Structure 1
Amino acid sequence: MRELAFALEYEPGCNEVADTLAAHPAARIRSLSLHVTDERLWRVDHATGSSAALDAIAATFRDADYYADCLADESCNATQTTRVLDRTDDTLVLYSDWTRTPTCASVPHLARDHLGDGLLFDTRHEGRHYTWRIIHSGEGDAAPFFDAVDDAVGDCARMEMLRTADTAGPVGASGGANARAPGDLSAEQEAALRAAVEHGYYESPREVDVGDLADHLDVPRSTLTYRLRRAEEVLAKRHVAAERPTQDPSPTL
């Protein structure tokens, strides 16, 4: 089995969900289930945020011009159904289902075309960043898949590779030219973290704020914030895993 992980950073006006989340920075959406066939796509998503953010997310998903994960530049005239499965003050669960038309393209459909059946998807959406993790059999060819996604998103989004690796085997085992172990940082995350340290972002008090650091690196502020957050998450989990004590074997009675 192989794992692919990448992120799409959408430009303003290119993805309605990204625009909605950018307007509500504390809101997050993660997939609970995502399935695709040649003709259909259906998914269940769990969103968190303020009541106003959840209202905006629900309205976006219900918009007739938005089809979950469709990469078409204009409305593809798919038939979509969106239902609210659960709602509290700070959580929202949505079910979305749409039938594909000849003009429709999506990451799951492109993955099925190039990587085969039996795919597992995990997604995280925050701000303009949409992170994908795909588990597949390893029999397909990932390079044409990434080329197809890049062609489909065009100028609407930038792709950032996060990981391509085997899901089993020794940590750090080779998985191709772009392979990295699940606990490794991407090149972009590594560069962001190194610059943050060198310019005093982690000093107390800080010697540079995230806006000035983003200007220095010539990347959008949201992009730098995303890369630092993901890098911090990787390092924190690695530290906790390394410090977790090994349990002593049960005493023999």
Structure 2
Amino acid sequence: MREFIFTIDYERGVDPVMDVFIDHPSAHSRTIACNVTEEGMWRLERVAGPETALERLDEVYDDPVQCTECIGTRDCKTDWCYEVIGSEPGVRTVYSYRSEAGDCHSIPRLAIEHVGPGVLCETERRQSRCEWRLLLCDDAGVDGLFEAMEAELRPGLTVEFRQLGSPSYWVDEAVTLAELPPEQQAAVEAAVEHGYYRTPRDISLTELAERLDVSRSTLQYRLQRAEAWIVRSFVTRSMGPVQADEEVAEGGRLRIGRSGV
């Protein structure tokens, strides 16, 4: 298996979806699950940000004017389905489906054409940048994918190829609460169950310690260790993988860009 990671930077005015993230720097989206075939792409995405940003995204997705995964100038026509399946203040979980019809050449479609089936995709959008992470069976067709993306690239976009190598990000993603030591896991689960993390709290640290039959200092230590691990995992996940050996270009990253008119 191989891991291919690249980013696309967008100038304002070249993509209506990315314009929302440019205008709302605190907004952020991340793929939860994605399925790609030659016929289309199905995706679950978690979007967080101010309500004004989320409402703008609704408007864009409800009446899409262009393929949101395409980087070219093709006037592609595609069937589109978009539905919010989970919502709370500042956060939404969104299901979307887009068919690959006619002359539409999205990044996932290009990946399948040049690398073959079995591609896993994940994206993360923040400000002017969208990061793509592809998990491939091998890198036999990566050069062709590289050339196709370069040929498709429209003015106002810059592609930065960050990493091609053995999978690391996807392995790091497979972390769960079960990886905590049992006593820390039990402490966190009890704290959530009894409302310790609610605002205001339903239970004090002392009361929770009594329920668990441990000293207050012991419980505090376990929760602090668990919280530190959870926060580190979350921040690492949000920031993306640590830069590893980059095999795409000698001497560092390779950027391809075209200025807008």
Q: Same fold (TM over 0.5)?
A: yes
- Per the alignment, residue 117 of structure 2 pairs with 117
What is the letter of the counterpart of residue 114 of structure 1? H
* TM-score normalised by L of structure 2: 0.63
CA separation in 2, counterparts of 1:11 and 1:18? Answer: 9
CA drift of 1:164 comes to 0.9
Which of the pair has more CA radius of gyration? 2
Following superposition, the deviation at residue 153 of structure 1 comes to 2.1
Count of residue pairs brought into register by the alignment: 182
Which residue matches 2:143? 143
User: Cα deviations across residues 118-164 of structure 1 (Å, max 9, x unaligned)?
Assistant: 11112110112110111101153211101111221232310111111
The C-alpha deviation readout for 1:184-231, integer Å capped at 9, x for no partner, is xx658xxxxxxxxxxxxxxxxxxxxxxxxxxxxxxxxxxxxxxxxxxx
In the alignment, the residues of structure 1 paired with residue 59 and residue 98 of structure 2 have an alpha-carbon distance, to the nearest angstrom, of 16
Distance 2:244 2:157 in 1: 31
The residue number in structure 2 matching 1:155 is 155
1:5: which partner in 2?
A: 5
Q: Give the equivalent residue in structure 2 for 1:245.
A: none
Equivalent residue, structure 2, for 1:30: 30
1:14 aligns with 2:14: yes
What amino acid is the match of 1:45? E
Deviations 1:31-61 (A, max 9, x none): 1112221121221111001111111122222
Query: What amino acid maps onto 1:67 in structure 2?
Result: C
1: distance between equivalents of 2:30 and 2:243? 27
Percent identity reads: 24
Residue 97 of structure 2: aligned partner: 97
Structure 1 Cα separation of the partners of residues 69 and 77 of structure 2:
14
Pair 1:81-2:81 in alignment: yes
RMSD: 2.7
The secondary structure found in structure 2 opposite 1:155 is: coil
- The residue type equivalent to 1:93 in the other structure is T
1:70 aligns with 2:70: yes
Q: Note if contact 1:166-1:175 (Cα within 8 Å) is conserved in structure 2.
A: no
SS at match of 1:22: helix
Please state how far the C-alpha of 1:28 moved relative to its aligned partner.
0.3
SS at match of 2:108: helix
The answer to whether the Cα contact below 8 Å between 1:40 and 1:97 also exists between their aligned partners in 2 is yes
Structure 2 CA distance, aligned partners of 1:177 and 1:30? Answer: 24
Does the CA contact (< 8 Å) of 1:25 and 1:126 recur in 2? yes
Equivalent residue letter for 1:41: M
TM-score normalised by length of structure 1:
0.65
Q: Is the 8 A contact 1:2 1:138 kept in 2?
A: yes
> C-alpha displacement at 1:12, in angstroms?
2.0
Relative to structure 1, is the Cα distance of residues 179 and 59 closer, same or farther in structure 2, using a 3 angstrom cutoff?
farther
Structure 2 segments unaligned to the other structure (5+ residues): 169-241, 255-261
Cα distance in 1 between the residues matched to 2:246 and 2:19: 35
Judging changes above 3 Å, is the alpha-carbon distance between structure 1 residues 8 and 176 closer, same or farther for their aligned structure 2 residues? Answer: closer
List, as ranges, runs of 4+ consecutive aligned residues in structure 1 with deviation greater than 6 Å: 171-175
Q: Provide the C-alpha distance between the structure 2 equivalents of 1:123 and 1:156, rounded to a whole number of angstroms.
A: 19
